[in-house]
Amino acid sequence: MKTITCALLALCLVACGKAVETRSSDAPERHSSLNREAEFELTTEQFASAFNAASRAYGQSFKINKVEVQHGPVHDYFQQTFPSGISLTAAISKDSGHITSVTALVAENSAAAENRSNVLAISKVVAAAVNPRLSQSKSAELVQSMLQEVGSSQDAGKFPQRFINNVRYVLRSGSGIGYWWIANPV
């Protein structure tokens, strides 16, 4: 029984990527892309430029003036705070310097209509910055359908997500906290 438990634990650790990998000369080498984290093909400066261009295209006032990279234990990151309780955080690969995730947070305030308007505005800009092949009409449709879905759900554990052009979009809402719009490459 102890042997079976140890084997199952080892399999779980390997599946979760937490095991120490050992190689023997007979074992084939794993494909390197399996070990790499998905990332956008954007450096921090390229992302800031794409974000600012998308903001202008949508007629928004969001602007990343300066990227100040902070060094974290797993990922590096940068943050930008905008007026109206909106902030943006981008995770950066320590290996390549490319963006691995973008999260926009719209802090909840007393005006529900303003919250949804802010989510719509920042989400469209982020979607256009990380996915330039996504048209403005598709971007707006994407965000509006996800807002409608999150607004109609009574289950806080469920949240809408969509996969478009190898990008995963997630919209989460936390009672009393606000909305998170997350874009990850897949």
- The model's pLDDT over 55-77, given as tens digits with 9 standing for 90+, comes to 999 999 999 999 999 998 888 99
What rounded mean pLDDT belongs to the chain? Answer: 78
The C-alpha atoms of residue 185 and residue 130 are separated, in whole angstroms, by 9
The predicted-structure confidence for 96-105, as pLDDT tens digits, reads as follows 999 999 999 9
- Check pLDDT > 70 for residue 27: no
Q: What is the pLDDT confidence band of residue 45, given thresholds at 50, 70 and 90?
A: very high
pLDDT of residue 8: 30
Question: Quick one: which of 86, 78, 102, 79 has its CA closest to 168?
Answer: 102
Task: Output the pTM of the full model.
Answer: 0.75
Question: Quick one: which of 177, 175, 172, 148 has its CA closest to 161?
Answer: 172
DSSP at 41 = S
HSE, side-chain direction, 13 A CA sphere, residue 5: 2
